[in-house]
Amino acid sequence: MLDKSYFTKVLDLADYITKTWDPKMKWMWGEALFGYSLSLLDEHLRSDRYTKFLTDYCDYYVKNPPRVDQSDTSAPALITYQMYKKTGNEDYKKLTDRVLYYIKNEPRLIEDSVNHLGNSLEGKFYPKSIWVDSLMMFSVFPSHYAKDNQDSEMMDIASRQPRVMSKYMQDPNIKLWYHCYWTKAKTHYPRRKIFWGRGNGWVIASLPMILENIGDHVEKENIIKIFKETAEALLPYQRSDGAFETVFNKVGKTYRELSFTALVARGFLQGHRMGLLDDQYLESGLKAYKAVVDALIYENDGIFMPEISGPTIPLPLFPYLGYKFIPRAKNWSFGLAALIFAAIEFDKIEKNKAKLK
């Protein structure tokens, strides 16, 4: 195999997935983030490379209306809105509008945040709670939409989420994030100092995305503060190989987790580009990104991103075991999304270097 650049390898992976996967993916958070990352990659490349795959996804749900009943089923608006902007298809707008209605009208559980599992069937079997996941699944889309449409109500909703989430789930001393907050028990969960990697990854990757959309909103400076504190708290847990572990504050006791590592890379690289983080985070972000790309597997004419832990919920009993023993697999949609998010920032850095030469 020819030696390829760290960006080209991720492009090859994205091409492989879109050529071999059925675009009728689930209407769910992981697939939503993967599709959104492809749309951003097309924007970055100024291409229509992945448009057909994404419009086929939207067309399927035009014919098969999905449920929109929780944060995780709100995330696909990241795709439908992008494709509506690109094509002007009114059916895609109708799908997007269903999510806008949910975000605006779903009853609030605590301050301005909704029950993460919403009014879904799953939500009936889990304590009412807010999750760090919602910073990515529930908050990024409305910030994006509000920026484009001067929608002050949606902008306020998106901008308030980091403050509320930080208040209830960020450890006030360590500045790392717990997975969720149970409102009836009035406690973060897990109760012990167990910090799940990908959850903290959603935080560090989503906050600069939100910041880039909200302009000079009144919440901006506080979000910057939360972002910087989180970045500083994460930095010491990076392994010598550039990666982070799934329960990352117990180094050597769990396992390397590459979706989390890619999310940290995205957050650090974007934060540095926006002038929020200094050069040590650039170095750390590049090291994390390259660790993930170096781990890609080429076999049987395919390309695979390994060491991605499966979908994870905070188990009501023995949460640490739930994180430690969650199955891992290759090419989980959300892991691919995390890597593509990071690759876009990496390529921006490379292009900027080329301009300076």
* Structural tokens at position 290: 């390259």
Average pLDDT, the chain: 96
User: Residue 254 in contact with residue 304, Cβ under 8 Å?
Assistant: no
Q: Give me the mean pLDDT over the 286-304 stretch.
A: 97
Local structure of residue 138 (DSSP, 8 states): T
Q: What is the DSSP string of 208-253?
A: HHHHHHHTT-TTHHHHHHHHHHHHHHHGGG--TTS--BSBTTSTTT
Distance CA 34, CA 333 (A): 6
Which residues make Cβ contacts (< 8 Å) with residue 275, sequence separation at least 6? none
Q: Which pLDDT value is given to residue 317?
A: 83
Judge whether residue 243 has pLDDT over 60: yes
pLDDT at 171: 98
Query: What is the pLDDT at residue 355?
Result: 78
pLDDT digits (tens, 9 = 90+) for 9-20: 999 999 999 999
Q: Summarize pLDDT for 108-138 with one digit per residue, the tens.
A: 999 999 999 999 999 999 999 999 999 999 9
Q: What is the pLDDT of residues 256-282, one digit of tens each?
A: 999 999 999 999 999 999 999 999 999
Q: Are the beta carbons of 13 and 332 closer than 8 angstroms?
A: no
Tell me the pLDDT band of 356, cut-offs 50, 70 and 90.
confident
Whole-angstrom CA distances from 26 to 33, 61, 72, 75, 107 are 11, 10, 11, 11, 25
135 and 190 Cβ atoms separated by less than 8 Å: no
The mean pLDDT value for 339-353 works out to 94
pLDDT at residue 1, as a whole number: 41
Considering only the C-alpha atoms of the chain, give the largest distance between any 2 of them, rounded to a whole number of Å. Answer: 58
Residue 305: φ, ψ to 5°: -95, 115
Per the CB < 8 A criterion, the answer to whether 296 and 303 are in contact is yes
Assess whether pLDDT exceeds 50 at residue 350.
Answer: yes
Query: Position 281: which residue type?
Result: Y
The share of the chain scoring above pLDDT 70, in percent, equals 99
Task: For residue 46, count other CB atoms closer than 10 A to its CB.
Answer: 7
Domain 6-350, architecture per CATH: Alpha/alpha barrel (1.50)
Identify the pLDDT of residue 38: 98
pLDDT of residue 357: 66
At 137 the pLDDT is 98
Give the tens place of pLDDT for each residue, 191-228.
999 999 999 999 999 999 999 999 999 999 999 999 99
Q: What is the pLDDT of residue 3?
A: 61
Give the count of beta carbons closer than 10 Å to the beta carbon of residue 22. 9
Q: Which of 160, 178, 161 is nearest to 169 (CA)?
A: 178
